[in-house]
Each structure stands twice: as structure tokens, then as C-alpha cells.
Amino acid sequence: MWVAIVRCIWKHKNAVIFKQGVSNAEEIFHSIQLLSWLWQKYRVKSYNCSFSDWLMYPNQCLSSNA
């Protein structure tokens, strides 16, 4: 999880600095949610949480697929 957080913040920071982007905390948060779900989905072969489940109940998705 923390790798997804750091990666998304770093990528967003670079976009703001080098591409004259605008800082947007909500966009960073959504990027973290998506990236962490995708990584979890591809890391665990038996992963069965949908993205909507991940958004609503992330702790349950993590504990059920650990």
C-alpha cells in the first residue's frame, strides 16, 4: 500500500513541476485507490474483490485475500 501512495504522490508532484499541472489532492487519492487495487488484483491470483468493493471495504478485501 505505501508503495502505491508514494508512487502516486511522486508522479503527481512531477506532473505539477514539469508539466505545469495543478495540485489536486482528490486526484491523488483516486490514483492511489486504483493503483493499489490493480497491484493487489495482479499480485494475488485468487483475488475476488471488485473495484467498487475495494472502494467501499478495503480492509475486508485485504484481509480476505491475504
* Domain membership flag for residue 21: no
* Domain membership flag for residue 18: no
Question: What whole-number distance in Å separates Cα of residue 13 and Cα of residue 46?
Answer: 34
Question: What whole-number distance in Å separates Cα of residue 36 and Cα of residue 3?
Answer: 9
Range of the domain at 35: 2-10+26-64
* Domain membership flag for residue 20: no
The tally of domains found in the chain comes to 1
Contact 24, 30 (CB under 8 A): no
* Domain membership flag for residue 38: yes
* Domain membership flag for residue 54: yes
Global confidence as pTM: 0.82
Tens-place pLDDT, residues 13-47: 999 999 988 999 999 999 999 999 999 999 888 88
Residue 65 has a pLDDT of 66
- Which DSSP string corresponds to 9-59? HHHHHHHHHHS-----HHHHHHHHHHHHHHHHHHH-TT----HHHHHH-HH
